[in-house]
Amino acid sequence: MIPMSLADIAAALEGKLNETADPEAIVTGGIEFDSRKVGPGGLFLALDGANVDGHDFAAQAVDQGAAAVIASREVPVPAVYVDDGLRAIGALARTVARRSEAAVVGVTGSNGKTSTKDLIGRLCAALGPTVATEANFNNELGHPYTVCRLRPETGYLVLELAARGLGHITELCEIAPPHIGVVLNVGISHLDGFGSIETTAEAKSELPRFLGPEGTAILNADDPRVARMAERTRATVVTFGVERPADVTAADLDPHDGRHRFTLRTPDGEAPVALRLWGGHHVPNALAAGAAAWRLGMGTERIAAVLSEAGRQSERRMDVYTLADGTTIIDDSYNANPASTGAAIRALGQVPTAGRRIAVIGLMADLEDQSEDCHRRAGEQAAAAGVDELIAVGGGTEPVVDGFAGDGREHRIGGADGAAATHVPDQSAAVDLLRTRLRPGDTVLVKGSRYRTWDVADYLRAKEDHRQ
């Protein structure tokens, strides 16, 4: 964190120092809400969770070197007392952001946020010291936590902006106002919070609408809902796309072995890119990241070189590895919605394999009354991609099997030998079925909303030999 005195921190949080806190003490480390991660000179944010009360670990944090604790009740160590710890870290992040000169890049969209954020982070790191959202720390806690990691020397701050309702992205932007805002796409996701794709588009548009005239809005020309956001921003608009004319685009697109190659074209020139990331959906992600880097002053050839070097950084996202017997595993189990599931299935269809293509598909959550249609569509996409066997896991995924069998393929439920599509009640049953069905040389995709296929992925991961 940018060094601040406890007195300054208390003022920023509208809090009060307790008697044991030294107002002149300087906080030089970061802020942590896990006491085990607190380091010398840092702050410990004591949150009252559903299962654990952070205040019980205040003394431990100070013993580990914390300069003070941010607390909402009395603790026997140096502390800043506040009414609400979650609001306090947001207020602290606002102060840290105001004291920083870092260029801030915000990324949002229904799909691809984390992968694109990772790519932008790699590109910015080639320009100078960079802080980027870890994993998907993109909510009301993870976002300010990331901002508080800024140091005086940080030149670039890359933030993933998520929302489950209107106003959420605006709230995140107010903490650390972006100079560049990237909108990837608008799709069917989190309908429990948004209610409709139109509301989702309105929520995503909060990022370009927040930008001022000195900012840059990077918009997907291939997504009509995103492209129309150009009319609602005061910022300079830079477009990216594959199918429609754009400022930053991909020519000579070659699917190769599932790790796509293309010629990157920007207003300043062109250069070849050979992605290490699996799946065609990473092409627009790479273009969006390249557009951000181009606006930050990076040359086209350097952008292409960094994109070609970038590997997967976040867990359970198109993590492709090979077992000792030649079986290939595609672990994309971190989360799922209709667009990301379709992209993963298409990637499975493109990966070279000596054996069969097997898709293990878990529930796509939060789809409300569109759930049945979306799951049936996933089965249809698997059939179209040439998937040889499909395993649908858990309640709500039965339509995946129906969609897969819609073209007249063999359709048996319950794991009968030779079945092309099988529905199983849970992950344990899916693992049992894979034990009997998986053969050397097969390629297996594991996809589902959070936790719903993780046990399957972990079973396969335990057999891991080496990554590709």
**Predicted local confidence at residue 193, as pLDDT:** 58
For residue 149, pLDDT beyond 70: yes
pLDDT range class, residue 190, cuts 50, 70, 90: low
End residue of a domain, out of 248, 274, 309: 309
pLDDT, average across residues 277-284? 93
Q: Any idea what the CATH number is for the domain that residue 139 is in?
A: 3.40.1190.10
Quick: pLDDT tens for 406-431.
744 555 444 334 448 999 999 999 99
Asked if residue 249 lies in contact with residue 224, where contact means CB atoms within 8 angstroms, the answer is no
pLDDT range class, residue 191, cuts 50, 70, 90: low
Quick: pLDDT tens for 226-249.
999 999 999 999 999 999 999 999
Asked if residue 332 lies in contact with residue 447, where contact means CB atoms within 8 angstroms, the answer is yes
Same domain, residue pair 133 and 195: yes
DSSP string, 161-198: ---SSTTHHHHHHHHS--SEEEE----S--HHHH-SHH
pLDDT, average across residues 130-156? 92
The reply to whether 94 falls in a domain is no
**Predicted local confidence at residue 164, as pLDDT:** 80
Same domain, residue pair 50 and 194: no
pLDDT range class, residue 458, cuts 50, 70, 90: very high
The reply to whether 303 falls in a domain is yes
Q: What domain range includes position 354? A: 319-467
Same domain, residue pair 278 and 328: no
The reply to whether 93 falls in a domain is no
pLDDT, average across residues 3-15? 97
Asked if residue 29 lies in contact with residue 3, where contact means CB atoms within 8 angstroms, the answer is no
For residue 366, pLDDT beyond 90: no
Tell me, what amino acid is at 178? P
Same domain, residue pair 330 and 462: yes
**Predicted local confidence at residue 413, as pLDDT:** 43
pLDDT range class, residue 209, cuts 50, 70, 90: very high
Q: Any idea what the CATH number is for the domain that residue 47 is in?
A: 3.40.1390.10
Choose from 108-112, 128-132, 366-370 the range with maximum mean pLDDT.
128-132
The structure tokens 């990237």 sit at 182
Asked if residue 289 lies in contact with residue 180, where contact means CB atoms within 8 angstroms, the answer is no
**Predicted local confidence at residue 468, as pLDDT:** 52
Percent above pLDDT 90 for the chain: 82
**Predicted local confidence at residue 464, as pLDDT:** 59
End residue of a domain, out of 261, 290, 309: 309
**Mean pLDDT for all residues in the chain:** 92
Q: Any idea what the CATH number is for the domain that residue 438 is in?
A: 3.90.190.20
Same domain, residue pair 330 and 203: no
- pTM for this prediction: 0.85
Same domain, residue pair 213 and 339: no
As a whole number of angstroms, the longest Cα–Cα distance in the chain is 76
Quick count: other Cβ atoms within 10 Å of Cβ 128? 13
pLDDT, average across residues 271-280? 94
How many domains would you assign to the chain?
A: 3
Same domain, residue pair 136 and 283: yes
* CA distances, 190 to each of 109, 173, 335, 439 (Å): 12, 20, 12, 36
The reply to whether 361 falls in a domain is yes
**Predicted local confidence at residue 419, as pLDDT:** 47
**Predicted local confidence at residue 463, as pLDDT:** 75
Asked if residue 248 lies in contact with residue 238, where contact means CB atoms within 8 angstroms, the answer is yes
For residue 217, pLDDT beyond 50: yes
Least confident of 74-83, 400-409, 419-428: 400-409
